[in-house]
Chain A
Amino acid sequence: MVSEAKATVAKSIGTRATDGKQLTRGAVALGGLAAGYFLVVGLHRAGVLISDYYLQILIWVGINTIMGVSLNLINGFTGQFSLGHAGFMAIGAYVAAYMTKILGAPFAPALLVGGTAAALGGLVVGIPALRLAGDYLAIATLGFGEIIRVIILNLDVVGGPRGLPGIPAHTTFLWVYAMAAATVVIVRNLIWSRQGRALVAIREDETAAETMGVDTTRYKIMAFVVGAFFAGVAGGLYAHKITFIDPSQFDFMKSIEALVIIVLGGLGSITGTVLAAFVVTFLPEALRAFADYRMIIYSLMLILMMLYRPRGLMGTAEFGFRQLGLGDARSSARDVGGQAMGRNDGPPPVLETRGVCMDFGGLRAVSDFCMTLRQGELVGLIGPNGAGKTTVFNVLTGLSEATCGSVHFMGNDITRKRPSEINDMGIARTFQNIRLFSNLTVLDNVRIAFRGERPYSMTEAVLRAGRYSSQEEEICRKSMEFLRLFGLDDRASEIAGKLPYGAQRRLEMARALATGPKLLLLDEPAAGMNPQETHELLELIRWIHERFDLTVLLIEHDMNLVMKLCQRIIVLDYGNTIADDAPADIVKNRRVIDAYLGEEAV
């Protein structure tokens, strides 16, 4: 009790300290932004450095920044290759222009409605994004952009192919500056949150993200909706800057322009995008002296920049508070105390499969698979290569849908549930061919998996308000706790893909446990480990089994490990269960010896 009270006190102090720093950061950000604005305006008024001409260019930089940052949310952070950004901009531009010019509405609501209309477009595009990926998605979004353009071309109320002239020139430097700053802050806050980690997890490995409980459908649509909203705002600013819009301004090349900005800046870097918006806007202007050769030189310079910085100017790095010495404790590893545990209360977990079969084409990979796992059991699933063991895991975790039969977990039918739902209910797994989010840090891998009872909302994340601070603090603390249990706490800030093999296996287990499972499925955890490491693994599995009150199902070929660890062993061969018995009886089973163990093992 005493230690608990101490932990609470320590926690509240910690939270307050963080809040203090957060306020400082907020003040610095606001002050910096205001100072930046007044500096530009002051210099402009005084006629030093910034002429009218440069102020105009800065306005374009701002619009390009919004365009780039919003696309980076979709492309760079979520990894959904979209080529339809001009379409979202067109919606925002036309809706906003229609409101101000024809309906006489003020600028602010016009921008907002334009952005919202574009967000609706994002919702529409988000739906194909659920089924498509990579090049296919790029083509689909490209098609979407063209459809928008053609629709506008045939829409007489907004001038059709003649365009929409005489739009009020509302877009001032203040507007653009404020909007660009708002976009950067909101997208930044979104990225550095629970939601942002989910987006990045989708980019890194969608399947692994699903099995860690990330609802990929929801988050992909969210990325498209938020990205499209800001693209729409950029479109509105664009229209009220240029005062004349026609459909040809929003063609494929506009989308490419946005793509150039984010690729040059670095996919997954907001500061990189801002920097690239400067480069891409200023460079063609600075090269005006070369007249006709201007665009050739510009293109060559882009090629050279990409050759020397193939991952963009900033890669995925950011320039921010950390470089200014105002780092966020939550985003970096550190020593934290207290006791962490998953959600292990509730009724006793029982898994039951009834007559599960699984066909791939004409091939029956698993047939009539019946298994009951009682609470707290440690069961081995063995069998020759290709017997269907991993397929069973895929069915249990929802990655494959059983052709027939049903799977029941704690009394619920989970046969047709999505992987993220199944993980939410309390089944977590590791993968035979390790599927970490390999470009992210060790800590982030675990943090993605972590979820609280009532996680904070997206609004709270963007505003850095409500439960955000305390929960982030807790997620970081508990994640570090898990890393310590697995001996990885001193590597928390290393990139997961660079860890040695054994450490990657341990991290995958830590990540699975962080989702708070009741049933843990381990797919060949000892593969690639030497006897010494296997022995340590044995101890580790025993220990987590006890400590987290888990039921464990284990696929493994290391019979030494299986025999020592498991209370019961199920043997599969060609998709059929050929034995289900205690270890001592399994090694004497003739069918198992013939199919799997061989004579020498007896």
Chain B
Amino acid sequence: MLLEVENLHVHYGAIHALKGVSFSIDFGEIVTLIGANGAGKSTVLRTISGLIRPTDGSMTYQTALTGSSTGTSGAGSTGGAERQVNLCSLPAHRLVDLGISQVPEGRRIFPNLTVMDNLELGAYCRRDKAEVARDFQMVFDLFPRLKERRAQAAGTLSGGEQQMLAMGRGLMSRPDLLLLDEPSMGLAPLLVREIFEVIARINQSGTAILLVEQNASMALAVASRAYVLETGSIALQGSAAELAKDPRVQAAYLGSA
């Protein structure tokens, strides 16, 4: 397993947001978390990426890297000097080095920097200039609109373009595990399909993805496995195809009442 989360508890003050959540993500897998607003999906992502400290539980992450090296190794490789790290004890910025990258909900781009600068900051931890240049090309191939606007201040982009930029920035660290929080939010229908194609393509290159989405039908179509989160606990889990057929999921999240 690439990431094994066990019995995760998170509190916001008196509020018990995650109540013993356990799940796992294997190398090269797409796993989706679905659930209503306020169920704790974003909290799970933010805990993995180190922005929130869990009050209890463990998160064991398998890394092929030596920690100080940069994201040069092929994503999802199982060979080499593998080692396990407990993510609970690491600060957020160290996790980027370990190959975990988050595309946060609400984009969180740097509004006063240009599109290029934003992408470059995504590659902040990397030293391999030639590879970074190739990844720029890859991002621009995925999102031609960003190339058109590369010299523009990111804050002047439209909402959907900012979403593309946030994803592009997340990819620039060349992660082994990409955490996507609502990537289709605010995107036009054509673009929503495009984004999911992009997600599949990123995954094909070996990157494991943990996907949080409101568009549950699309998310279940692209993912191999899924977890349903309800008020801070895992209510259902299984293969994405099975869950898509589950009447409870259909009623609550697929809108086919």
Task: List chain A positions with a Cβ less than 8 A from chain B.
Answer: 360, 382-387, 390, 432-433, 498, 500-503, 524, 527-535, 557, 559-560, 595-598, 600-601
Nearest-neighbour CB distance to chain B for A430, whole angstroms, equals 13
Query: Considering the chains assembled together, what is the distance between the CA atoms of A412 and B187 in angstroms?
Result: 34
Whether A598 touches B185, Cβ cut-off 8 Å, given contacts A386-B158, A532-B255, is no
Residue contact B186 to A524, C-beta cutoff 8 Å: yes
Q: Which of A531, A533, A557, A559 contacts B186 (CB 8 A)?
A: A557
Q: Which residues of A contact B37 (CB under 8 A)?
A: 500-503, 528-530, 533
Chain A CB within 8 A of B85 CB? no
A432-B186 in contact given A529-B37, A532-B36 (Cβ < 8 Å): yes
List B contacts of A532 (CB < 8 A): 36, 252-253, 255, 257
Task: Tell which of B36, B38, B158, B257 touches A385, judged by Cβ atoms closer than 8 Å.
Answer: B158
Apart from A384-B188, A528-B185, what 19 extra A-B contacts exist at CB < 8 Å? A382-B188, A383-B188, A385-B145, A385-B187, A385-B188, A386-B161, A387-B158, A390-B158, A501-B38, A502-B37, A524-B159, A530-B214, A531-B216, A531-B253, A532-B36, A534-B255, A596-B189, A598-B189, A601-B189
Are A432 and B38 neighbours in the complex by a CB distance under 8 Å? no
Question: Whole-angstrom distance between the alpha carbons of A140 and B182 in the complex?
Answer: 42
Within 8 Å CB of B106, what residues of A? Answer: 433
With A385-B187, A385-B188 known to touch, is A598 a contact of B38 (CB < 8 Å)?
A: no
Determine whether B84 belongs to the interface, using a CB cutoff of 8 Å to chain A: no
Chain A residue numbers with a CB within 8 Å of B189 are: 557, 559, 596-598, 601
Answer yes or no: B200 CB below 8 A from chain A CBs: no
CB-CB under 8 A from A382, the residues of chain B are 188
- What is the CB-to-nearest-CB distance from A522 to chain B, in angstroms, rounded to a whole number? 13
- List the B side residues contacting A596 at CB < 8 Å: 188-190
B67 within 8 A of A: no
B159, B161, B192: most-surrounded residue (chain A CB, <10 A): B159
Q: Is the CB of B187 within 8 A of A528?
A: no
**Nearest residue, chain A, Cβ from B105:** A528
B73: Cβ under 8 A from any A Cβ: no
Knowing A386-B158, A390-B158, the reply to whether A502 touches B188 (Cβ < 8 A) is no
**Once the chains bind, are B182 and A528 in contact (CB under 8 Å)?**
yes
Known A557-B186, A557-B188, A596-B189: A530·B157 in contact at CB below 8 Å: no
List the A side residues contacting B34 at CB < 8 Å.
530
Q: Does B156 contact A (CB under 8 A)?
A: yes
Measured CB to CB, the closest approach of chain A to B253, in angstroms, equals: 5
B20 at the interface (CB under 8 A from A): no
Proximity string of chain B (236-257) to chain A, C-beta cutoff 8 Å, 1 when within and 0 when not: 0000000000000000111111
How many chain B residues touch A (CB < 8 A): the figure is 33
Bound together, the chains give a CA A453 to CA B188 distance in angstroms of 41
Q: Which residues of A contact B185 (CB under 8 A)?
A: 527-528
- Cβ of B214 and Cβ of A529 under 8 Å apart? yes
- The answer to whether A502 and B38 touch (CB under 8 A), given A432-B159, A598-B189, is yes
CA of A171 to CA of B186, assembled, Å: 63
A-facing residues in B136-179 (Cβ within 8 Å): 145, 156-161, 163
User: Can you show 11 pairs from A to B with CB atoms below 8 A apart?
Assistant: A384-B191, A385-B160, A385-B187, A386-B157, A524-B159, A528-B182, A530-B216, A531-B255, A532-B257, A533-B37, A598-B193
Closest CB in chain A relative to B132 CB, distance in Å: 26
Given contacts A360-B156, A528-B37, A532-B255, contact A385 B216 (CB under 8 A): no
Residue from A502, A528, A596, A597 having most chain B Cβ neighbours under 10 A: A528
- Within 8 Å CB of B214, what residues of A? 528-530, 533
Contact B158 A530 (CB under 8 A): no
Contacts A530-B253, A531-B216, A532-B253; A600 near B159 (Cβ below 8 A): no
Q: Which parts of B193-210 form the interface with A (CB within 8 Å)? A: 193
A386–B214 CA distance with the chains assembled, in angstroms: 22
Residues of the B chain whose Cβ atoms lie less than 8 Å from the Cβ of A557:
186-189, 192
Contact of A531 among B161, B182, B193, B254 (CB under 8 A): B254
Inside 8 A of B255's CB, which chain A residues have their CB?
A: 530-532, 534-535, 560
Instruction: Say how far B246's CB is from chain A's closest CB, in angstroms.
Output: 15
Contacts of B182 in A (CB 8 A): 528
User: Which residues of chain B in 34-61 are interfacial with respect to chain A, using CB atoms and an 8 Å cutoff?
Assistant: 34, 36-38
Rounded to whole angstroms, the CA-CA distance of A596 and B160 in the bound complex is 13
Measured in the bound complex, the distance between the Cα atoms of B135 and A42 in whole Å is: 78
CB contacts (< 8 Å) of B38 on chain A: these are 500-503
Q: Which of B185, B188, B256 has the most CB of A within 10 A?
A: B188
* Contact residues in B for A384 (Cβ distance below 8 Å): 160, 188, 190-191
Residue of B nearest to A534 (CB): B255
CA distance A597 to B253 in the complex (A): 23
Contact partners of A601 in chain B: CB under 8 A: 189
Query: What residue in chain B is nearest A595 (Cβ atoms)?
Result: B190
A279 to B172, CA, bound (A): 51
In the bound complex, residues from chain B placing their C-beta under 8 Å from that of A383 are 188
| Bound complex: CA A309 to CA B216 (Å) | 43
B144 to chain A, nearest CB (A): 12
Residues of B within 8 A of A500 (CB): 37-38
Q: Which residue of A lies closest to B107 (CB)?
A: A433
- Nearest first, the 8 A-B pairs at minimum CB distance are A385-B160, A531-B255, A500-B38, A386-B158, A502-B37, A598-B190, A530-B214, A501-B37
Q: Which residue of A lies closest to B186 (CB)?
A: A527
Interface string of B214-230 (1 = CB under 8 A from A): 10100000000000000
Return the chain B residue nearest A528 by Cβ. B185
Determine whether the beta carbon of A530 is less than 8 Å from that of B36.
Answer: yes
